[in-house]
Amino acid sequence: MKKMTLVFAVLATLGLTACSSQQDNSYKGTVLFSSYEGNDLKLTVRKDNCEAEQRATAAEDVVITHKYDSDLVVGSCVRVDDDNTVRNVSRSRSHSTLSRAGIVY
């Protein structure tokens, strides 16, 4: 039993290490401005790690063109990957129809 627990702990550690290394070059930021550009969105994102203390100080602003996504609203916290893929991380995305409709069971 102890060996099995040790093996599980090692595998879990390796799995977490692999997952964390995939996001080394991404960053979190706050969407400051959003506008349509054809079928895409032109987003201005402040690299502030979504923390209020860093918003007041000088932080780098980045302009990104991304395909339209109604989840990317001004003020939301987003993660931007190397290939400029933007994901809203300020709330969990639920794909359940019941939860989107506000029905709680």
7-40 pLDDT per residue, tens: 666 666 666 555 554 556 899 999 999 999 999 9
Supply the mean pLDDT for the chain. 77
- Single out the residue of 70, 22, 78, 68 nearest to residue 47, CA to CA: 78
Q: Please indicate, yes or no, whether the overall pTM of this predicted structure exceeds 0.95.
A: no
The answer to whether 88 and 74 are in contact (CB under 8 A) is: no
Q: Is the dihedral of CA 22, 51, 33, 75 positive or negative?
A: positive
Q: What is the pLDDT of residue 2?
A: 74
